[in-house]
Structure 1
Amino acid sequence: MTDYAIGDIQGCYERLMDVLDKVDFSPSRDRLWVAGDIINRGPSSLESLRYVRNLGSSAVVVLGNHDLHLLAVALGGHGLKKKDTLRDILEAPDHRDLLAWLLQQNICVHDPQRNFAMAHAGLPHIWEVDKAMGLARELEAVLRGPEVATFFRQMYGNEPSCWRDDLVGMERWRMITNYFTRMRFIAEDGTLELTAKESADDAPDGYAPWFSHERPDDVRVIFGHWAALEGDTGSERYIGLDTGCVWGGKLTVMNLDTDEKIHCDC
């Protein structure tokens, strides 16, 4: 069995098939770790979502901001945005099953044997990996619990901007969500800057890329989300797999045992 991790698919189903063909991926023997944003902006969100869902136990999935956006539209009453390509999912005969499946997926996963964690946007340096996993489980319980609609109605927002252990309710859940699914630039004290989306060299004053801060543990981090990086973090410890497929870049998978990266052009 070979385990592969893949960056943001974003509805690019044909390119997904191309890159999996390149590594001779077989769900009967291999496993795919999906770093979030299965859907949206690309032409085939429904096919992409169905494919990953149908992998069953051969997929390990963390949710990205676009995956959560679909749920916020469906469950929280938010409208579709101009560039969204989600209507085919919302109108599909199996849309309830697809949404229910998404709600059962992870916010962050940790493989202690390989010593890596995977979250869509990454891991903030203010949380060591065990604390991060505990907070991920806390948010996952909200997504699977009776307050899920309330969460999605109020999910959007940039405040609070910095973690405190005494945060409660929606402010706590939104803060956890933003670290795991929207983070790019962060200050030393953990304050997020969520408006800048440029390359790592263009950090706003007082902020730096999240992976440039010293962590309290030695865990490796696999993430997606930041296409402007083109996969380059300058460190073998922080593995960016969003190489901008939906923007005409590449779709990247990585062999988790050899660290070999395989691409297909998009």
Structure 2
Amino acid sequence: MTPMPSDDSAPTLKPGDSYVQSFARGLSVIRAFGADAPRQTLTEVARRCGLTRAGARRILLTLQTLGYVRAEGRLFELTPKILDLGFAYLSSQPLWQFAEPLLQQLSSELKESCSIAVLEGSDIVFVLRMPTRKTMGMTLGVGSRLPAWCTAMGRVLLSALPNEEREAQLAKLPLKAYTSRTVRDQQELNVAIEQARQQQWCLVDQELEDGLIALAVPVTGRNGRVLAAINISTQASRTPPQILLEQGLPRLQETAQGLSRLLQIKG
């Protein structure tokens, strides 16, 4: 089973001086492509974006002219040039430049996959990943999204939000059962997130995928603001939760603190 990003309900916006509807529609067309639908017909794109065929066609042809989309017969797909948009963000943020060698060292020492993610809406988005052995059924990389509420990094990031903002986000989410262990009760989920806030770490044991365990801690910038989360992920058959806590948490916290210091000095 492949977890899908949660479906955020975007606010209703009207065209005006501060909102360009055609640009927003172009972004929605780009976002329509993903691992579940890498190649689509015009009709499929229009349906996924809530556009007319004529509207979707104009946007796709514009993206094709700019080199972000290519067509093969009736099918459209993104080109590697689309990565320019993501790398523009990554290269503009000092966090990822400082983080890569630290994350690489952590992953090498623990011989486990390590990642850094940020909160975007009700999802986490991976901005850096050092995979070792395969821990998940799905392939994750920079730009991959997972639902925040049932991931260790997501709960760490959600715990840093003001209470009202966090409660508003969680209230509108369908708490899907990814495994038999997935927390689906709102009150229980709130308790888990509050616990993550108090202890400054979170362990999620096979809630997103059977066999997958992840441990995460926050990364802070100036003024103590949480900017990202860093994690270790492993398989329960290889590293039980208690062993992951005993062996991984101290090194994970040390890495996060080192990165936080660099951000406070140079960020």
* TM-score (ref. length: structure 2): 0.32
Which of the pair has the greater relative contact order for Cα pairs under 8 Å at 6+ separation? 1
> Which is greater in Rg?
2
Relative to its length, the structure with more helix (as a share) is 2
